[in-house]
Structure 1
Amino acid sequence: MIFNTELIGVLELRNMLDFSEVIVAGALAREESRGAHFRCDFPQRDDDKWLMHTLAYPGESGCVLKYKPVTITRYEPEKRVY
């Protein structure tokens, strides 16, 4: 069996670029800082607006973002102190 490693590399790169587009779109839309996601223009966490799962779908002009509320079953979110 022979593998076309160049084709595999191209397909993997395309998938990484698609996923990178989703990450950037979600980060730009989220107007808060949370965990490893920090924005200088929105330094505080905003649970009222952004305690949500970000869902991304392909659209005609790029990513379409939708949000789904987080279901908290065990631990309430707390402020992190470093």
Structure 2
Amino acid sequence: MTHIITGERVTSMTVKTYRLGNSIVVTVPALFNIGENVEYQPIIDENGVISLLPVKHHIFRGNAGYDLRQAMLEENIGDNDIPIGREDAWHE
């Protein structure tokens, strides 16, 4: 039996694998609230622990020529404060 921690709740649950076509499927409990069609990258470590890592999409990769600074100007989004750290991405 496995203890599942989600936020403040701990749930005891065991899940089984099953075959679907050429794949082995593990049911993810609905209480995880991950939704449908969410992409994960499965990995398995040397101890057999399976982890599902969320696939992160680079927001600018689809449009490498996207000019964020120009878009900010067009939308009248100002960048007119004095940086106190490394916020000044334009001059790094």
- For the criterion TM > 0.5, the same-fold answer is no
TM-score w.r.t. the length of structure 2 is 0.25
Q: By percentage of residues, which structure has more strand?
A: 2
TM-score w.r.t. the length of structure 1 is 0.26
Q: 1 or 2 for the larger relative contact order (CA 8 Å, sep ≥6)?
A: 1
Which protein has the larger Cα radius of gyration, Structure 1 or Structure 2?
2
